[in-house]
Structure 1
Amino acid sequence: MYTQMLTVRRLEEVANAMYKEKIVRGFCHLYTGQEAVCVGIHSAMKPHDHLITAYRCHGWSYLMGIPPIEILAELAGRESGCQRGKGGSMHMYCKGFYGGNGIVGAQVPLGAGVGLALKNEAKGNVCIALYGDGAANQGQIFEAYNIACLWRLPVIFICENNEYGMGTQMHRSSCSIEYYARGVPLPGLYVDGMDVCAMRNAAQFAIDFVQKEGPMIIEAHTYRYYGHSMSDPGTSYRSRDEITQMRSTRDAISNFRERAIGKELLTEEECKKMDADIKKELREAGEKVKKDKEIKPEELWADVYMDNKEVGIRDTVGNFHKHFRVGKTLEKDHIKLKSFKSDLSLTPKDIPIEIQESEAQLAAIKEAQKKAATKEKSKNKEKKK
């Protein structure tokens, strides 16, 4: 557990540095400070349990089975990424892990749907659906509570309360900040999300409970050290002193290390060596990723469907593409295919009449614009003369 928390933190540090070097682009939401939540819950999960979370998902991606180097490559948009660089920060998936949903709160009803599938399978596994305090006031979350309660679905709803939904403190956005008590009649637990052992115990209890009694809620009270995303400095709505105090008094990794050393489970030297080894491994992974390539343009439309029922991909006006597979697939047991051949040898008879008509219209518009531009140039020349 100590190694995992360290790995999540050092992974985020490398991602942070790569973002500042403009190797990682777009959105990037770091999990730094919240490591005890994911590691504690994961340590209680069984291999066949399922999980879906929000966009702060890099730590979960690693714990659910994606190697750190593939996470960093995915962030950088490189072909060795877990989704071959096409998913990015919020779209990493593996078996039993349904990624980090980029739409606030949308993962919660999806998690209820996974729970329904698991109940129908009746194999004794559960789904964990995580969301933040910023999403806790969404209507769809209460709808998911309702249907999960009615059907007694094996779902654990976990609110990761890091005290700030984007840049708004929880007291200003929520009339009730007892997030664990919002699901009446669903039972709820409040847990110190900065204590990995407390998180483990709560998750163990909840996993056993929901299989027998139906869904429940856990509020994991935690704290993020960085801003909402990399574009947010995180100090306009809270003071630097507040962040410093949290790091010095409640840090999950430091506190766990002190407890482990005090109980003689680890030594100071072992902890230092773990940290040094993990830092080195992830630094090397980051350097390797920088040398990796992006996918070829023709692969951009690969892996759109799991099982395509039509000749090509619909709604690609002017670009009719046959669907093909290249990335990791469930049928191939998550083995990455090393090579592929894209089938682009399409004859006009393969192209639907709608697309042919659309392309003819586009060509006519371009021709008319070209003629108008030529006419305008001639007029300008005459004026100059």
Structure 2
Amino acid sequence: MRKMLAAAVSSVLSVVTQKPANRVLVASCNYSNDATFEIKKCDLYRLEEGAPVTTVLTREDGLKYYRMMQNICRMELKADQLKQKFIRGFCHLCDGQEACCVGLEAGLNPTDHVIASCQARFMCTRGLSVPSILAELTGRRGGCVEGEGGSMHMYANNFYGGNGTVGAQGLLGAAYNMTAVWNLPCIFICENNRYGMGISVERAAANTDYYKRGSFIPGLKVDGMDVLCVREATEVAADYCRSGKGPILMELLTYHYHGHSMSHPGISYRTREEVQNLRSKSHPIMLLKDKMVNNKLASIEELKEIDVEVRKEIDAAAQFAITDPEPPLEKLSHHIYSTNPPFEIRDANQWIRFKSVS
């Protein structure tokens, strides 16, 4: 028996013992270390060369991407449940766009700075734990900003989350004109999920080629549902910036299955059939799963085990997010200014005052 197991190239999936006969059947799976895939060609604007049309995915990276994307997806679905009772502030969901943040992170360096929108889930790829994210959404002490920021103010190492002015992340990074004039190494990302706040892009814009909107800035239009396509395009964009050529714009064509926010459930401006059709045919997690299984980078059973583990982790994180204590009232005035001297703020009761901490 030891010799049989030692001879197996990879892990044993199942052992079936037939009783009373003393025979053992061993089913093993020989995984491939890597596989080559064709990816969709990017549309180019003011560029001579784009991302390659083939790429190599290793088994290690594939499993990492799959777990990360499932983690983000399950967290989004859990947040959708929590917003019915426990999330009292904003909650902008983006399930369906998992390939964008995971692919972007795979093509960047950890030391690169990221400024995101209120819907981006870069905080997951930048080191924030799911419990700290969900606890921030529910306004608890264990949140990544100690419950003071909510959905639109989350921060991590080299990550600067959403802000109170929706859509201002481009200006906070550097405006288009400034980056071109000063030749700054800045990648502008447009996650085009095909709908704004209640209206389709076709009804809102005469020119829906957002990768050309930089005018004097080169652009790439990328399949945002394919994590490998996003990864390769991001590496090209990052190399372009690092080589001193200035800014570049990337449009990631993607889709989100939930509505824009709590006030836009997602079926008031599109049909259920449209959402279900895209979910069944082009979900980024499903696309990656098919690639890995069909090319022997993983087995269905192995990926199912990851699914089970992720669900347990998300359930535990949600439990923490609804049981962790809320911040004390004394912290209401903390961290409003970074350098100003302390000041007092009055509560609804004029005799109660809280002192600020910078």
TM-score of the pair, normalised by structure 1: 0.73
Tell me, what secondary structure is at the counterpart of 2:355?
A: coil
**Partners of 1:162 and 1:221 within 8 A in 2:** yes
Aligned to 2:295: 263
The correspondence for 1:219, drawn from 246, 251, 262, is 251
Find out whether 1:65 has 2:144 as its counterpart: no
Going from structure 1 to structure 2, the CA distance change for 1:285 and 1:215 (only over 3 Å counts) comes to: same
Matched residues in 2 for 1:313 and 1:195: separation? 51
The correspondence for 1:170, drawn from 182, 194, 201, is 201
Matched residues in 1 for 2:252 and 2:231: separation? 11
Deviation of 1:314 (Å): 8.0
Tell me, what secondary structure is at the counterpart of 1:159?
A: strand
The correspondence for 1:93, drawn from 133, 148, 155, is 155
- Cα deviation per residue 1:101-123 (whole Å; 9 max; x = unaligned)? 242321101011xxxxxxxxxxx
Letter paired with 1:81: G
Aligned to 1:292: 324
More strand by share: 2
Aligned to 1:358: none
Matched residues in 2 for 1:316 and 1:287: separation? 31
Find out whether 1:159 has 2:190 as its counterpart: yes
**Partners of 1:311 and 1:323 within 8 A in 2:** yes
Deviation of 1:237 (Å): 1.1
Find out whether 1:201 has 2:232 as its counterpart: yes
Aligned to 1:123: none
Deviation of 1:272 (Å): 0.1
Flag the structure with larger Rg.
Answer: 1
- Cα deviation per residue 1:210-248 (whole Å; 9 max; x = unaligned)? 122000100000000011112322111111110011001
Matched residues in 1 for 2:325 and 2:177: separation? 47
Going from structure 1 to structure 2, the CA distance change for 1:311 and 1:231 (only over 3 Å counts) comes to: closer
Matched residues in 2 for 1:60 and 1:109: separation? 18
**Partners of 2:191 and 2:251 within 8 A in 1:** yes
Aligned to 1:192: 223
The total of aligned residue pairs comes to: 291
Matched residues in 2 for 1:299 and 1:314: separation? 11
Matched residues in 1 for 2:186 and 2:102: separation? 19
Find out whether 1:6 has 2:6 as its counterpart: no
Letter paired with 1:16: D
Tell me, what secondary structure is at the counterpart of 2:214?
A: coil
Matched residues in 2 for 1:105 and 1:14: separation? 25
Deviation of 1:63 (Å): 1.1
Deviation of 1:66 (Å): 0.9
**Partners of 2:91 and 2:262 within 8 A in 1:** yes
| Structure 2: gaps (5+ residues) | 1-64
Deviation of 1:54 (Å): 1.2
Letter paired with 1:322: K
Matched residues in 2 for 1:282 and 1:324: separation? 33
**Partners of 1:312 and 1:320 within 8 A in 2:** no
Deviation of 1:312 (Å): 2.0
TM-score of the pair, normalised by structure 2: 0.78
Aligned to 1:76: 138
- Cα deviation per residue 1:140-196 (whole Å; 9 max; x = unaligned)? xxxx11111000111100110000011111011111000001112211000000000
Aligned-residue sequence identity (percent) comes to 43
The correspondence for 2:82, drawn from 18, 22, 37, is 18
**Partners of 1:162 and 1:223 within 8 A in 2:** yes
| Structure 1: gaps (5+ residues) | 113-143, 326-385
Matched residues in 2 for 1:315 and 1:80: separation? 26
Going from structure 1 to structure 2, the CA distance change for 1:176 and 1:324 (only over 3 Å counts) comes to: same
The correspondence for 1:179, drawn from 210, 216, 222, is 210
Going from structure 1 to structure 2, the CA distance change for 1:315 and 1:49 (only over 3 Å counts) comes to: farther
Matched residues in 2 for 1:320 and 1:295: separation? 16
Matched residues in 2 for 1:145 and 1:316: separation? 43
Find out whether 1:254 has 2:286 as its counterpart: yes
Deviation of 1:316 (Å): 9.1
Letter paired with 2:337: Y
**Partners of 2:222 and 2:233 within 8 A in 1:** yes
**Partners of 1:148 and 1:215 within 8 A in 2:** yes
Matched residues in 1 for 2:88 and 2:354: separation? 27
Deviation of 1:259 (Å): 0.4
Tell me, what secondary structure is at the counterpart of 2:207?
A: coil
Aligned to 2:173: 111
Letter paired with 1:176: N
Letter paired with 2:106: S
**Partners of 1:54 and 1:102 within 8 A in 2:** no
- Cα deviation per residue 1:324-377 (whole Å; 9 max; x = unaligned)? 26xxxxxxxxxxxxxxxxxxxxxxxxxxxxxxxxxxxxxxxxxxxxxxxxxxxx
Matched residues in 2 for 1:29 and 1:191: separation? 23
Deviation of 1:321 (Å): 4.5
Matched residues in 2 for 1:25 and 1:155: separation? 35
Aligned to 1:56: 119
